[in-house]
Amino acid sequence: MSTTTTAPRRTRELPPLMTLTDAAADRLRSLYAKGEQGKLLRIGVKTKGCSGLSYDMTWTDKAALTDEVVKDKGLTVLVDRKASLFLIGTVMDYEVKNLTSGFTFTNPNEKGRCGCGESFHV
């Protein structure tokens, strides 16, 4: 009688759903402390633009059952569960340039962006 055994399959650890840079954390702390006190930032994606998807950020009073809760640098950010597969491993930053300032996303799942940078595809 012959028996074969297989070694247990090693699973690799998934990257965090989303992380914040120090600049993004500082800006969020400022927003949470001022006009958005008591609210949470929800990040999602929606169909928009020439490449198909764009980042969507809204303020909410509480987490929905369909939200993933991301805690980083002492802050809480919500991610719409429908967007989580598009956002795994994303780094949220806050940039200040000569004429604009705002949150930016470095998303390892992006395969391309439109020319104006408003939308992306995976």
- Cβ-contact 89, 15 below 8 angstroms: yes
Residue 71 is predicted with a pLDDT of 93
Q: Which tokens is 41 given?
A: 């930032």
Q: Is 94 a residue whose pLDDT tops 80?
A: yes
Q: Give the residue from 116, 107, 118 showing the smallest Cα distance to 54.
A: 118
- Measure the CA–CA gap between 90 and 18, rounded to whole angstroms: 5
- Residue 77: pLDDT band with limits 50, 70, 90: very high
Q: Which domains does the chain have, with CATH numbers?
A: 18-121 (2.60.300.12)
Q: Is 67 a residue whose pLDDT tops 70?
A: yes
- Lowest mean pLDDT: which of 18-27, 85-94, 100-109? 100-109
Compute the average pLDDT of residues 56-69: 92
Give the tens place of pLDDT for each residue, 11-48: 767 678 999 999 999 999 999 888 888 899 999 988 76
pTM of the entire predicted model: 0.78
Q: Is 114 a residue whose pLDDT tops 90?
A: no
Residue 57 is predicted with a pLDDT of 92
